[in-house]
Chains A and B, each alone.
Chain A
Amino acid sequence: MKARDLMRRDLTSVEPDTLIYEVVYLMEQSGLSTLPVVDEEGKLVGIITEHDLIHAALPEYFDMLHSISFLPNLNQIQKRLKEMAFKPVSEYMKEVTSVHLDDEDLHIADLLIRKRLKQIPVVDSEGHLVGVIRRIDILSRLIR
């Protein structure tokens, strides 16, 4: 099965100059935890996830300790999030792994597992975002 048969044709996305508070708002309203970032032409240029936002708001020494249980409360994280709120997505988005419309399901599943992705955007031959494939889309297809 190809990407075009598996994908959700949902183009919900943000632009590089979208502000972080707008991203959080969109994630909350749409229920999506991962948002593709597209340019003025609708071409995929990056991705922003809930995890990216949480990680950016955590203290730098979190990577060593792998826990926030040592914090007395969430005030420090809240302060950092408020500092981030009016910054553009471009400062926090990541390079994106994408697939093309005719890529096969095995290749897509391999990318999702190997890169520990929750979803992967699908682009056309010119790089326009045309859909997304979630892990659950493949799981539900396989279990039928």
Chain B
Amino acid sequence: MILTITLNPTLDKFYWVDHLPLSLERAEEEILIRARKSSASAGGKGINVSIFLACMGVETVAMGFLAGHTGQIILRDLLEKGVTANFVWIEGENRTNVTIIEKGKEYHPVKIHEEGPRIPSHAQEIFLRKYRRMLKRTEYVVLAGAIPPGIPETVYEELTREAKGAGVKVVIHAGRRPLWEAVKVGPFFVKPDVREELMVGDMPVRTEEEIIAAGKRAVEYGCQACLISHHVTGDVLITPEGIWEYEAKVPLTAFKNLVGADDALVGGVLYRLTQGDQLTEAVRFGMAAAVASAEIEPKMCLSPAVIEHEMRTVEVQFKEGP
């Protein structure tokens, strides 16, 4: 079973518009944008990974904090998609993240992310008890996404320690300090989120050399694999056994919605690892899942056949040995 942790779940709202005017031509006017299409679904990195895995037939449990009417919508969506839900309920309202996708500029969406509710300490204690209980039945745990108000940025470090103590492999799919504090404990697999800041820990990851240096540092801390995006269609995998470059030969203009593609990547890697694949091949499938997801309007491609077909676009190159 694969456990995913989303401490700050979201209702992802998407609006597709023909034109997105971002400035007023006349000061007295207001901007009215009519959406050609819209959709809403449960989100947050860990939740997306769980949805992907459930649709691939992998048993998965999603944990985190739910609140209010938005929490009910998130829960309902998860249950309908076959994800087992084990959340702590708190007061307030879960966040809503809005993405506006303009026709012809699909690879440059406009995003508005809410902060999310404050998590009281008592709810954190309940969560930790549930987490420890679930670890006894878990093969992998995915710690993913933003940290909500009220929870310290060292939380992934603590959760990684707990999981490693229970013999569970840890996947970190997050960014900034929460990621790096956890990396120091030596999780199994790391997928840094570098959307907001091209940094991993205190190291920049703008060039391939910098990416490899950051990945090697993670491996020195005990990580078995660190996968860092070089650009939209290229990732670098750094492991103790060597370094591989992955490149999807797809033009940016083929992309319709990039939100969730990274989560499909992590889900794809885990899915194939549970099927017995080697890590390098699992990452190739993950890349194909990400590309297939970016090429459609829904958040993720959930068809194994389509993803298998997409694998022809992903090239892998062995770069250097240990």
B89 and A26 contacting across the interface, CB-CB below 8 Å: yes
Measured CB to CB, the closest approach of chain A to B90, in angstroms, equals 7
Interface residues of B in 46-76 (CB under 8 A from A): 61, 66-67, 72, 75
Q: Which of B66, B72, B85, B133 has the most CB of A within 10 A?
A: B133
Question: Binary interface profile of A, 125-141, with partner B (CB < 8 Å = 1, else 0)?
Answer: 00010110000000000
With A10-B79, A42-B136 as given contacts, are A29 and B86 in contact (CB-CB < 8 Å)? no
Measured CB to CB, the closest approach of chain B to A134, in angstroms, equals 11
B89 and A29 contacting across the interface, CB-CB below 8 Å: yes
Measured CB to CB, the closest approach of chain A to B55, in angstroms, equals 14
A10 and B75 contacting across the interface, CB-CB below 8 Å: yes
A9 and B89 contacting across the interface, CB-CB below 8 Å: no
A10 and B137 contacting across the interface, CB-CB below 8 Å: no
For residue B172, which residues in chain A have a CB less than 8 angstroms away from its CB?
none
Interface residues on B, range: 20 to 34
B72 and A9 contacting across the interface, CB-CB below 8 Å: no
Q: Which of B72, B75, B84, B133 contacts A40 (CB 8 A)?
A: B133
Docked CA distance A92–B265 (Å)? 47
Interface residues on A, range: 10 to 19
A9 and B85 contacting across the interface, CB-CB below 8 Å: yes
Question: Binary interface profile of B, 84-99, with partner A (CB < 8 Å = 1, else 0)?
Answer: 1111011100000000
Q: Which of A8, A11, A15 has the most CB of B within 10 A?
A: A11
Interface residues of A in 46-105 (CB under 8 A from B): none
B86 and A11 contacting across the interface, CB-CB below 8 Å: yes
Question: Binary interface profile of A, 100-116, with partner B (CB < 8 Å = 1, else 0)?
Answer: 00000000000000000
With A10-B79, A11-B86, A131-B84 as given contacts, are A29 and B136 in contact (CB-CB < 8 Å)? no
For residue B87, which residues in chain A have a CB less than 8 angstroms away from its CB?
12
B72 and A31 contacting across the interface, CB-CB below 8 Å: yes
B133 and A12 contacting across the interface, CB-CB below 8 Å: no
A11 and B137 contacting across the interface, CB-CB below 8 Å: no
Docked CA distance A70–B251 (Å)? 77
Q: Which of A9, A10, A41, A131 contacts B136 (CB 8 A)?
A: A41
A42 and B133 contacting across the interface, CB-CB below 8 Å: yes
Measured CB to CB, the closest approach of chain B to A58, in angstroms, equals 27
B134 nearest in chain A by CB position: A42
Question: Binary interface profile of A, 1-45, with partner B (CB < 8 Å = 1, else 0)?
Answer: 000000011111001000000000010011100000010111000
A12 and B85 contacting across the interface, CB-CB below 8 Å: yes
B67 nearest in chain A by CB position: A29
Q: Which of A11, A41, A42 contacts B85 (CB 8 A)?
A: A11
For residue B61, which residues in chain A have a CB less than 8 angstroms away from its CB?
11
Measured CB to CB, the closest approach of chain B to A30, in angstroms, equals 5
For residue B133, which residues in chain A have a CB less than 8 angstroms away from its CB?
38, 40-42
Docked CA distance A40–B133 (Å)? 6
B89 and A12 contacting across the interface, CB-CB below 8 Å: yes
Docked CA distance A12–B87 (Å)? 7
Measured CB to CB, the closest approach of chain A to B140, in angstroms, equals 18
Judge if B82 is at the interface, Cβ distance under 8 Å: yes
With A15-B129, A29-B90 as given contacts, are A128 and B137 in contact (CB-CB < 8 Å)? yes
Docked CA distance A98–B75 (Å)? 23
Measured CB to CB, the closest approach of chain A to B141, in angstroms, equals 15
B89 and A30 contacting across the interface, CB-CB below 8 Å: yes
For residue A40, which residues in chain B have a CB less than 8 angstroms away from its CB?
133
Judge if B7 is at the interface, Cβ distance under 8 Å: no
Q: Closest 10 CB pairs between A and B?
A: A29-B89, A9-B84, A11-B86, A30-B89, A42-B133, A10-B85, A8-B79, A26-B89, A9-B79, A10-B79
Name 18 extra pairs, CB < 8 A, besides A8-B79, A9-B83: A9-B84, A10-B84, A10-B85, A11-B86, A15-B129, A26-B89, A29-B89, A29-B91, A30-B89, A31-B72, A40-B133, A41-B133, A41-B136, A42-B134, A42-B136, A42-B137, A128-B137, A131-B84
Question: Taking beta carbons and an 8 Å cutoff, which residues of A are in contact with B?
Answer: 8-12, 15, 26, 29-31, 38, 40-42, 128, 130-131
